[in-house]
Amino acid sequence: MSKFVLVTGGAGYIGSHTVVSLVQNGYTPVIVDDFRNANRIVLKGLESILGKLPLLHEIDVCDQKSLDALFKQYTFEGVIHFAAYKAVGESVSEPLKYYRNNILGLVNVLECMIKNHVNNFVFSSSCTVYGEPQGQKEVTESTPKLLPESPYGYTKWMGEQIIADTFRSAPQLRIMNLRYFNPVGAHESALIGEFPIGRPNNLLPFITQTAIGKQEQLIVFGNNYPTKDGTCVRDFIHVVDLAEAHVRALQYLWKQSAGKLDYLNVGTGKGSTVLELIQAFETKTGLKLNWKFGPRREGDVVEIYANVDSSFKKIAWKAQRTIEDAVMDAWNWEKYLNS
């Protein structure tokens, strides 16, 4: 029988792509999402890609009672926990909103797992736990964690700590913390993708919205960083590659004969500057983007990219898609949203 996998935040950006990968690998995702930060258009997209609607329960992960009832309804073979807020700036102005949702949601999920004897857990962590890497900009999983710059960052940093403490007391758990670098792009069908609510904070959605005319001009934050062209360097990872990493991570956990607490970087292993992403967009689409330099954004890391040796060794995963694929897929998705 196909394995049931609980996917909290499964209607969100990374969650929805992971739902597709799970189904394509023969598993049965069960989405929990209350659509506070997701759009129902994603359901239509999932239905078209998969041929039918995935199982879906509109539950808030902070609602312990409903979540526990769901754990009783299904026998989950694993849990992938995405449901969380992720806007860095908003987390500074509304920290308690972030601590309530991101921390309480995580605690509830872990409690339900332990209570209902579900052992396999994949957590959406972030390269934000490395802060601004000192010295080497290519970080491995053992690069020291630094204190984050924002409440959002703290929820990931503390999330990993809560998980590690939980593992000490419940060593039967098999846990993979996936540290995402910068997820970009959309499904190649252009039927699902990122759906920023309000003005986008992230770079590629801002680029596509500028190109389509929803935003007037892209401001590139800073031009005098100590990098090859003066703009920040990030490891942009295609969301479909990232989705596949979750499936591999689960398969890895299912193979373990004992409890496990592990961490993996999910990136391409290559850094690209902000200007290089803009250049890739212009080259692939043939469009001229309206952008200009502006002041640095507070709290921005200058340069970071992933060392991905461990991901390859442990879960046999490597990014297959390029930033050129990502900008094209994101652009097709933007056009679909506006059609």
Q: Is 227 a binder of ligand UD1 (CB under 6 A)? A: no
* CA quadruple 175, 177, 183, 188: dihedral, nearest 10: -20
Pick the closer one to ligand UD1 by CB: 262 or 276. Answer: 276
Q: Is 88 a binder of ligand UD1 (CB under 6 A)? A: yes
Q: Is 293 a binder of ligand UD1 (CB under 6 A)? A: no
Residues 43 and 11 sit within 8 Å (Cβ to Cβ): yes
Q: Which one among 17, 234, 238, 321 touches ligand UD1, defined by CB under 6 A?
A: 234
Q: How far is the CB of 288 from ligand UD1 (least distance, A)?
A: 17
Residue 212, φ and ψ in degrees, nearest 5: -90, -10
Letters for 143-182 (x = contact with ligand UD1 by CB under 6 A, - = none) are: -------x--x----------------------------x
DSSP three-state, residue 253? helix
Segment contacting ligand UD1 by CB under 6 A, of 60-68, 110-118, 297-305, 312-320 = 297-305
Q: Is 274 a binder of ligand UD1 (CB under 6 A)? A: yes
Structure token digits, residue 79:
């849990």
Pick the closer one to ligand UD1 by CB: 84 or 240. Answer: 84
Q: How far is the CB of 59 from ligand UD1 (least distance, A)?
A: 24
Q: How far is the CB of 102 from ligand UD1 (least distance, A)?
A: 12
Residues 140 and 181 sit within 8 Å (Cβ to Cβ): no
Q: Which one among 49, 112, 175, 218 touches ligand UD1, defined by CB under 6 A?
A: 218
Tokens 């004897």 sit on residue: 117
Residues 105 and 62 sit within 8 Å (Cβ to Cβ): yes
Whole-angstrom Cα distance, residue 157 to residue 103?
A: 11
For ligand UD1 (CB under 6 A), the number of binding residues is 21
Please name the amino acid found at residue 171: P
Structure token digits, residue 303:
């340069």
Residues 127 and 304 sit within 8 Å (Cβ to Cβ): yes
Structure token digits, residue 193:
């993708």
Where in 193-212 is the site for ligand UD1 (CB under 6 A)?
A: 201-203, 206
Segment contacting ligand UD1 by CB under 6 A, of 28-36, 217-225, 263-271, 324-332 = 217-225
Whole-angstrom Cα distance, residue 249 to residue 266?
A: 11
Pick from 141, 147, 107: which is nearest to 128 by CA?
147
Q: How far is the CB of 198 from ligand UD1 (least distance, A)?
A: 13
Q: How far is the CB of 221 from ligand UD1 (least distance, A)?
A: 4
Q: Is 221 a binder of ligand UD1 (CB under 6 A)? A: yes
Specify whether 152 is catalytic: yes
The residue from 13, 152, 180, 252 that is catalytic is 152
Whole-angstrom Cα distance, residue 239 to residue 265?
A: 14
Q: How far is the CB of 322 from ligand UD1 (least distance, A)?
A: 17
Q: Strand pairing partners for 139?
A: 306
Q: What is the DSSP string of 168-181?
A: HH-TT-EEEEEEE-
Catalytic residues: 152
The residues of the shown chain that bind ligand UD1, judged by CB under 6 A, are 86, 88, 126, 128, 150, 153, 182, 201-203, 206, 218-221, 232, 234, 274, 297, 300-301
